[in-house]
Amino acid sequence: MSWLNPNKTHPIALPDGTEIRNTVYLNKVIDHPRITAGDFSYASSFDPVEDWAQTLAPYLFPISREKLVIGRFCQIAHGARFITSSANHPMGGFSTFPFRVLRPETMGDYLNLPCRDTVVGNDVWIGMNALIMPGVTIGDGAIIATGAVVTKDVAPYSLVGGNPATLIRRRFDDATVAELLRIRWWDWTPEKIAANLAAIEGAYLAALASA
């Protein structure tokens, strides 16, 4: 389907065909050895962006050990940031000052600090100015509220908000969540998704399951 094309860079266009340049499919604009993003996952910014990897994950460097993994069909709003493990300072001594990072010959010592990958599932909506802290895993279908500071894992299909982010509500009951995680519609082809869009948008679980 031309409107659901993973090969586009700018997925949103006005009725006259004018592309919205400040919204991008991430895997078309990010070339970073520690970041992966699935098809159709996009980010938006009100400001011009020259480097989407640095904008979204400013502390994730090519020499970092951790990764940022983003699933398919995620939506990342303006100002959202991932604070990855490479932002950490040593906390076991009397000072947190990063003395060793100031010397090229000892900078590599920071590779020994604890680190965990940051993982975002599929169909996750991350609101404006949200902060995702190091090593967090966000489950499929979760919603991160505007301005939230996510310091711990988020269960699938949960809505969280606040600082630190806490559960506001579950989007669906446990049985529905289990079925959605079994169906995994986000792994379908664009054509199959388009054919079953009414069931996805309307939350018709039986129709989605039968597809």
Q: Which of 10, 32, 78, 89 is catalytic?
A: 89
Q: Tell me, what's the pLDDT at 104?
A: 84
Q: Tell me, what's the pLDDT at 92?
A: 86
Q: Tell me, what's the pLDDT at 111?
A: 67
Q: Tell me, what's the pLDDT at 51?
A: 97
Q: Widest CA span of the chain, in angstroms?
A: 61
Active site residue 78: no
Contact predicate 78/127, CB 8 Å: no
Q: Tell me, what's the pLDDT at 109?
A: 73
All domains in the chain, ordered by first residue:
23-171 (2.160.10.10), 173-211 (no CATH)
Tens of pLDDT along 47-56? 999 999 999 9
Q: Does position 1 have pLDDT exceeding 70, yes or no?
A: no
Contact predicate 189/204, CB 8 Å: no
Q: Tell me, what's the pLDDT at 108?
A: 73
Q: Of 133, 155, 156, 147, nearest to 66 (Cα)?
A: 133
Q: Tell me, what's the pLDDT at 71?
A: 98
Tens of pLDDT along 22-55? 999 999 999 999 999 999 999 999 999 999 999 9
Tens of pLDDT along 128-179? 999 999 999 999 999 999 999 999 999 999 999 999 999 999 999 999 999 9
Q: Which residues contact 20 (CB under 8 A, 6 or more apart)?
A: 10, 12, 13, 14
Contact predicate 159/143, CB 8 Å: yes
Q: What is the dihedral of CA 168, 171, 172, 178, to 10 degrees?
A: -100
Q: Tell me, what's the pLDDT at 211?
A: 92
Q: In the numeric block, which tokens belong to residue 94?
A: 């009397």
Tens of pLDDT along 66-123? 999 999 999 999 999 999 999 988 888 999 998 888 888 877 777 677 889 999 999 9
